Amino acid sequence: MRTQASERHQHDDAPDTGEAFRKLAALPPGHSRDLLREEIVEAWLPMAERLAGRFRNRGESSEDLCQVAALGLVKAVDRYDPGRGYAFESYAVPTVTGELKRHFRDHMWDLHVPRRVQNLRNRVRAACQDLSCSVADHLPSVGEISAYAQLSEEDVRTGLEALESFSALSLDAEAPGLTDGPALGDTLGEPDPAFDTAVEREAVKPRLRALPERERTILYMRYFKDMTQSRIAEQLGISQMQVSRLLSRCCHRLRDEVLQDAA
């Protein structure tokens, strides 16, 4: 049977708390037990902080990571059974690491990403880091990542896409690659007011072709050549009142026909 004493010095920050754990297991709930529990947690905090350091540079502050690791350590202390015969460190390390991973999975993603995709992202990210150390002249390709991580190329592409989903930029942030440039929000497009006009023109074309020639001419002169009703009347040899009535009648007719076509 493996004993705690035989494994207690796997790391420099692994204190000898075997006797303390045995005493803790024998104490009833109360002040004395709480004090001893706090002493054990404090003794193992350096180990928890070391584990938290593995997750730095992932968008979370070191202070917050240490707090999450400390929470995992407390859970490990409360659940550890010295009577099972294995070292506390062998139980605490996966418990603390799991707490840190859950923190990133549940609280750090700006977008909702399925757990399977999160796992693919982590495997692809780790493979990229390892390959970047050995292949310094270029970024690892999808094929290289696939072979190294033992993933399909489709899964690699999914993981690479998920790398961009972990955090989102504020619209007030500067556009990438620019210094003192416009904010991202300033570079976003807006609805083009000419789009609706283009759609309406295409919708009315068949109905315009069906109009009598004189009415088509009046519409063209008024709305395409921007001529006044008086000028149109002068050129066509009719009264300005006739031009007004024809324009009104044509516009109402076209509107009704286009709406009927749409319906």
Highest mean pLDDT among 136-140, 151-155, 189-193, 196-200: 151-155
pLDDT of 184 above 50: yes
**Could you give the CA distance from residue 218 to residue 144 in angstroms, rounded to a whole number?**
69
Are 77 and 150 within one domain?
Answer: no
Q: What is the pLDDT of residue 104?
A: 72
73: burial class by Cβ within 10 Å (0-12, 13-18, 19+)?
Answer: buried
Residue 210 sits in a domain of what CATH number?
1.10.10.10
Are 68 and 161 within one domain?
Answer: no
Are 124 and 95 within one domain?
Answer: no
Does residue 68 lie within any of the structural domains? yes
Are 87 and 20 within one domain?
Answer: yes
* Segment 244-248 mean pLDDT: 90
Does residue 188 lie within any of the structural domains? no
Enclosing domain of residue 96? 4-107
pLDDT of 54 above 70: yes
Here the tokens at position 67 are: 């707090």
Q: How many domains does the chain have?
A: 3
The better pLDDT of the pair 50, 185 is held by 50
Any idea what the Cα angle at residue 58 is, between residues 52 and 64, rounded to 5°? 45
pTM of the full predicted structure? 0.44
Does residue 247 lie within any of the structural domains? yes
The better pLDDT of the pair 147, 109 is held by 147
Are 68 and 29 within one domain?
Answer: yes
**Contact of 208 with 254, CB cutoff 8 Å:** yes
Q: What is the pLDDT of residue 165?
A: 63
Angle separating helix axes 240-262 and 193-209, nearest 10 degrees:
100
pLDDT of 7 above 50: no
Does residue 132 lie within any of the structural domains? yes
Q: What is the pLDDT of residue 220?
A: 87
* Segment 33-61 mean pLDDT: 87
Q: Which residues pair with 174 in a beta bridge?
A: 183
pLDDT of 1 above 50: no
pLDDT of 4 above 70: no
Does residue 182 lie within any of the structural domains? no
CA atoms within 13 A on the CB side of 127: 24
pLDDT of 74 above 90: yes
Are 63 and 155 within one domain?
Answer: no
Residue 89 sits in a domain of what CATH number?
1.20.120.1810
Does residue 31 lie within any of the structural domains? yes
Mean pLDDT across the chain = 80
Residue 151 sits in a domain of what CATH number?
1.10.10
Does residue 14 lie within any of the structural domains? yes
Are 155 and 214 within one domain?
Answer: no
Are 164 and 229 within one domain?
Answer: no
Model pLDDT for residues 75-134, shown as the tens digit of each residue: 999 988 888 888 898 888 999 988 888 777 666 555 566 778 778 887 888 888 777 766
The Cα-based distances of 73 to 38, 107, 192, 252 in angstroms read 11, 19, 57, 78
pLDDT of 239 above 70: yes
- For 129-143, 152-166, 208-222, which range has the lowest pLDDT when averaged over its residues? 129-143
Model pLDDT for residues 205-217, shown as the tens digit of each residue: 888 888 888 888 9
Does residue 198 lie within any of the structural domains? yes
Are 123 and 160 within one domain?
Answer: yes
Are 10 and 99 within one domain?
Answer: yes
